[in-house]
Amino acid sequence: MIGIFKQKNPGNALLLLVYALVLKFPLFLHPQVPVLHKEDNYLYRLLLRWLDSAFHNTPVLFAILTFLLLFTQATLFNRICNYHKLLPRPNFLPGMSYILVSSLLPDWNHFSAPLLINSLMIWIWYRMISLYNNNRPDAAIFNIGLLTGMVTLLYVPALFFLVLVFFALLIMRPFRIREWLMGLLGFTFPYYFLFIILFITNQWSWKNILPSVTITLPVMPHFLLISLGIMLLIIPFMIGGYFVQANLNKMLIQVRKSWSLTLLYLMVAVFVILINRADSYENWIVVAVPFALFHAAAYFYASDKWLGLTLHWLTFAFIIWVNYLH
């Protein structure tokens, strides 16, 4: 399987769909209706009310929507990695890795605000790593800030992703205060509309505007399966990180900067998990995108084919066991 996805064959797009259906089919066997958490913000609550009325609380429709989200995220993520040459040759390993990573914890297959913002964060990450060669960056930086602001209106802890915007400007661009202010302006832009709506609907109060943010320890695993899933998340990441570090001198400057920004993306996403802890692992999916890229590097750079095959099939077997047999 690693050898097949390591090639850029147009037929692999269909194979990736089949691969996703095999791993994600338990979505349709045990469909669930989304549950609101206190961290979910205005825009997500509004969207969920609309979906509830459209779907009439039918769990299987939410399962279909969740699958479509995960598969489109994997496909978009794969195309971005190939377009920016984050790996030496075009391939389907990033998409495969995202499907694998997003299947390690059962809660990551639920429709939720963190799952939804992953779609926006993949696009934001793409715009960030495109800044290096952008000759007209003002509009791009404003759009990055705008999308990040929209993410926070879906999920309150995503406020910390504003730090990632500044990291991107620091790494990808020479320091210009105008660009930093442009990003901040874009970030606050969605809130102008929120303030207007709150004022018109007589809901204006600082309590409704200022988010409640607390730093807590994440939910500790209560089951061995969760611990094993986390181990299978971290071990390929460490191997991939080693291979990326070993091959940095062969990469273009833009690619090196993109890998550095992806690592910072992971660090910021881990911090997002610590904000306003939910009672499930749904919010942990915000780390899936950067983890998937390092997993793809582990599969791509492994000189010993048995290392890549062992990592993949061990992870694959674990996912089948957890989702089908447990």
256-310 per-position pLDDT tens digit: 999 999 999 999 999 888 876 666 788 889 999 999 999 999 999 887 778 878 8
Amino acid at 142: F
Whole-angstrom Cα distance, residue 192 to residue 207? 16
Asked whether the predicted pLDDT for residue 183 surpasses 80, the reply is yes
Let me know: does 23 contact 59? Beta carbons within 8 Å.
no
* Residue 69 structure tokens: 């989200």
Domain assignment of residue 251, given as a range: 2-325
Whole-angstrom Cα distance, residue 214 to residue 204? 23
Asked whether the predicted pLDDT for residue 205 surpasses 70, the reply is no
> How distant is the alpha carbon of residue 101 from its chain centre?
10
Angle between helices 137-154 and 113-129 (to 10 degrees): 170
How many domains does the structure of the chain reveal? Answer: 1
Let me know: does 115 contact 63? Beta carbons within 8 Å.
no
Whole-angstrom Cα distance, residue 33 to residue 52? 9
Asked whether the predicted pLDDT for residue 324 surpasses 80, the reply is no
Task: Tell me the backbone φ, ψ of residue 215, rounded to 5 degrees.
Answer: -100, 125
- Mean pLDDT (the chain) is 87
Q: What is the mean pLDDT of residues 44-72?
A: 89
CA angle 208, 119, 67 (to 5 degrees): 110
Let me know: does 310 contact 239? Beta carbons within 8 Å.
no
Amino acid at 201: T
pLDDT value for 190: 86
Q: What is the mean pLDDT of residues 127-137?
A: 87
**Tokens 């993410």 map to which residue?**
151
pLDDT value for 38: 82
User: Binning pLDDT at 50, 70 and 90, where does residue 210 land?
Assistant: low
pLDDT value for 214: 66
User: Binning pLDDT at 50, 70 and 90, where does residue 241 land?
Assistant: very high
Length of the chain: 326
pLDDT value for 206: 63
**CB neighbour burial string for 17-45, b if at least 16 within 10 angstroms, e if fewer:** eebbeebbebbeeebebbeebebbbbbbe
pLDDT value for 147: 94
Whole-angstrom Cα distance, residue 252 to residue 132? 12
Q: What percent of the chain has pLDDT over 70?
A: 92
Q: Is the dihedral of CA 102, 104, 105, 107 positive or negative?
A: positive
Q: What is the DSSP letter of 284?
A: G
- pTM equals 0.92
pLDDT value for 277: 66
pLDDT value for 220: 63
**CB neighbour burial string for 225-262, b if at least 16 within 10 angstroms, e if fewer:** bbebbeebbeebbebbbebbeebeeebeebbbbbbebb
pLDDT value for 115: 93
